[in-house]
Structure 1
Amino acid sequence: MTAEIELRRARVRYGPLEALHGVDLAAAHPGATVLLGRNGAGRTTVLRALAGAVGLSEGQVLWRGRDVTRVPAHERAAHGIRFVPDRQAVFGSLTVRQNLELAARHEDFTAAFDAYPELRPLLGRRAATLSGGEQRMLALSGALLAHPRVLLLDEPAQGMSPTVAARTYELLGALDATVITAEQRLPPTLRAPAARTVLVHELRRGSVTFSGEATEWSTAQRP
């Protein structure tokens, strides 16, 4: 596998506490990579480190073989690394249309409506008035409209109905991008996609305890 983006011996500290303990992991392009673990395992910190939202105390972030450890988050975003956090991922004071306009090129919302037609009748609504699932749809739509090379997602289907969640993972699994998503459980749609390998990195207490294909992880979980 040729890595698109990776962490090497990455350590992250929040004050006196170390959240990542020398983490090594990689993701390929195109394809989906799932970061599995419970709350506090380090999944979100991995995403933030890749995005540049938190600095490393030791180690490296490599993107397409280039060391971007000291490249700030806004520069990474400008060059195609898009991070969608689990909270405050939309501008609540703006309407749905205005949120999409910030991400879309030439105000073309086609990709957003193809993915989530539920957003079309909500264009005039302020994002803060949307349900949790609707806000996730809006945040993901904005990310899709930006045409990222790397898409970092923290529990993307949170608050969505099972039907919309399944559609979301099918969409993410087919994107021509490196998609890295943090999850507590491996989404069924990503267990065995038709054409692509899905990678899994399981984290516990800031360390990687498993790295491999989703099919290998699923087999390892069987009694």
Structure 2
Amino acid sequence: MLLDVEELHVRYGRTHAVRGVSLSLNEGEVVTVLGANGAGKSSLLRALAGVVRPAAGRIRFGKEEVTHAAAPDRVRRGLVLVPEGRQILVSLTVHENLQMGAYCRTDADVGRDFAAIYDRFPNLAGRRDMPASVLSGGEQQMLAISRALLARPRLMMLDEPSLGLSPLLVARLFDLIGALNRDGLAILLVEQNTGMALRAASRGYVMELGRVVLDGPADALADNDALAAAYLGAH
């Protein structure tokens, strides 16, 4: 098992955002976390990434407990978050943004990985020396994912990656998610586009008001009309 989360709680003052969530993810697996806005999905990912400190619970990544590990330590272990809203640095160039993803690395393969990113994303290669502000929304999302890839993740957590993208770009994004997974990358996906998310994933968890209220195989969740009406909205 790559990720094992037990009874995780996240609080912001009096707000109890995540309430006893337990979930797991295996090597090479795509798992999605679904739910309405305010369900606690982003708070869950932020706690897994070390951006916020859990109030209680346990997080194991690989063979190590990382519940109290700092965010950079989790990145070094291969637990990497692509945050909601991309959070690229628009005043820096495309290449400088990518360098931020590799800041923890000291190995000799960094140059080869940069070349692989530019080969996969020729639009980024053509704008490598331009400010990231010139990129379209879709290109900015590809930059955010590329930045995460340069950290050499074992598990990439994606928080609302299709937000603000056109249907065509959403389709391309999920093609990329599938390709990365076929290359062996495990993915934990938070996504409002429930139909696409369930097609991409093998399993899913549904959150409501900070709790997991349902989990199971993705195809079973996709066929659950009562679930869709109660928690997810129309597909």
The answer to whether TM tops 0.5 is yes
Counterpart selection for 1:100 from 89, 98, 101:
98
Instruction: Give the gaps of 5 or more residues in structure 1.
Output: none
Counterpart selection for 1:183 from 187, 191, 194:
191
Opposite residue 212 of structure 1, the aligned amino acid is G
Whole-Å separation in 2 of the counterparts to 1:49 and 1:81: 12
Opposite residue 24 of structure 1, the aligned amino acid is S
Opposite residue 126 of structure 1, the aligned amino acid is P
Contact residue 10 and residue 16 of structure 2 kept, 8 A: yes
What fraction of aligned residue pairs are identical, expressed as a percent?
A: 35
Provide the aligned C-alpha RMSD in A. Answer: 2.1
Q: How does 1:70-85 map to 2 (within 5 A)?
A: 70-85=68-83
Instruction: Give the gaps of 5 or more residues in structure 2.
Output: 103-109, 230-235
Contact residue 32 and residue 172 of structure 1 kept, 8 A: no
| Higher deviation after alignment, 29-38 or 173-182 | 173-182
Find the counterpart in structure 2 of residue 126 from structure 1: 131
Higher helix share: 2
Contact residue 53 and residue 73 of structure 1 kept, 8 A: yes
* Structure 1 segments of 4+ aligned residues over 6 angstroms from their partners: none
Whole-Å separation in 1 of the counterparts to 2:27 and 2:87: 24
| Higher deviation after alignment, 139-148 or 41-50 | 139-148
Contact residue 96 and residue 126 of structure 1 kept, 8 A: yes
| Higher deviation after alignment, 90-99 or 158-167 | 158-167
Whether 2:111 is the aligned partner of 1:111: answer: no
Structure 1 residue matching 2:146: 3-state secondary structure:
helix
Contact residue 111 and residue 145 of structure 1 kept, 8 A: no
Whole-Å separation in 2 of the counterparts to 1:72 and 1:27: 21
**Distance 1:14-1:173 versus aligned 2 partners, 3 A rule:** same
Contact residue 111 and residue 141 of structure 1 kept, 8 A: no
TM-score scaled by length of structure 2: 0.83
Whole-Å separation in 1 of the counterparts to 2:218 and 2:187: 14
Higher strand share: 1
